[in-house]
Chain A
Amino acid sequence: MIRVAAVGDLHVGEDGAERWRDALEPVSRDADLLLLAGDLTRVGAVEEAPLLMEALSRVSIPTFAVLGNHDYHSGCQGELAAQLRQRGVQVLEGESRVVRVNGVSVGVAGSKGFGGGFAGACGSEFGEPEMKAFVAHTRILAERLGAALRALEADLRLVLLHYAPVAQTLEGEHPGVHPFLGSHLLAEAVDGARAHLVVHGHAHAGSERGVTPGGVPVRNVAQPVIRSAYRVYCFSGSDSLECASAPSS
């Protein structure tokens, strides 16, 4: 049994570090690894980094993170990631890491992801440079995520995002903002490889459960959605680990 804890959108700031430290304390007993789905800070200020470290100070299981849009807001995302890495957190952007848990290799591929929308309401790389740049950013991150996932060799394959890969987990959000909350390109990247679970955050008013067109379960673990400090997803042992989705080639 592998127990994967996940939460996004902690938004740790000057008023929340101790509360999060206490709320995350049981996670090392409840789970074998922890996934942090971005928006770890309120505005990504360098002053928030020590507060985030305080919030994570009682977590002793392997921890993986992607950054979110809030973590980019102050332009200190590099410093924030460096401090997290120093603390032992694996910060992922278009890359993957493997950890061994109870005899099972668990791989996590991660990316912040970005927006662009879903079937029926998508942006295209057409027109002004700003519009092209918007959609290209998502495409490039999705391509890197797909490559990282295809290269990943692990029994249990997890995908960690901040932005949503499917519209189902946005249910509850105003449909007009869906293009700012995620992109189908992220789901396509996952479905082009194999995975057991995708977790993401970002959509505070969304819903917890969805699935990619290729059949990979998607969970929105934004804290306001799960209404708890983290959710735990359990997978049975390596003998019965079967992946949804197969390589399209």
Chain B
Amino acid sequence: MVKGYQSRWKPRLRVVHTAQSADDTQNERQFGRRLLPHLDDAYRYARYLARDQSAAEDIVQEAFLRALKGYASCRGNEKAWLFAIVRNCCIDWSKAHRSAPSDFTDGLKETVVDSETPETQLQRDRDILSIRAAIAGMPEPFREAIVLREIDALSYREIATITDVPIGTVMSRLARARIMLATLFLSRGQKGMSA
């Protein structure tokens, strides 16, 4: 309400140009606040994509910076738009760092050796560890598809937008990715019907 008064009265008092840049900052921040709820999801995506924790942090920070600068170009789905930027930042990062990815499962090793932890908890941690390792070991683009779907719960349309492929491609990548995981983890060991 206070803002309304300001913007209505300002042009009479000031040259428009200064008011404009203040408005821009204001919009930028408002937009930033709308992006904040997606921070956790964006981080997970970067983490699984880059397979490196500190790189994921840099990537997400860079992505938010770019998103704020370019907020005016966002049409429609903010989350998909932000993820597309995260993806670009990941690509830039991996071009710059061609070295082998650092160990994705670092953080979990401590919990595994903790002797105070009950047996079932230990088993659970080991399971989580091996699932993480399996996801990290998956080839692109299957890893990306399964992470966007199962970890970040995005719709097919959003995944198609972010990865810039048709929905049909998203569907077949997901099917392949799931069968890869099933082959690794399930004794049933079904390899998919087409194999």
Q: Do A and B come from one complex?
A: no
Which residues of A are interface residues toward B (Cβ below 8 A)?
none
* B contact residues vs A (CB 8 Å cutoff): none
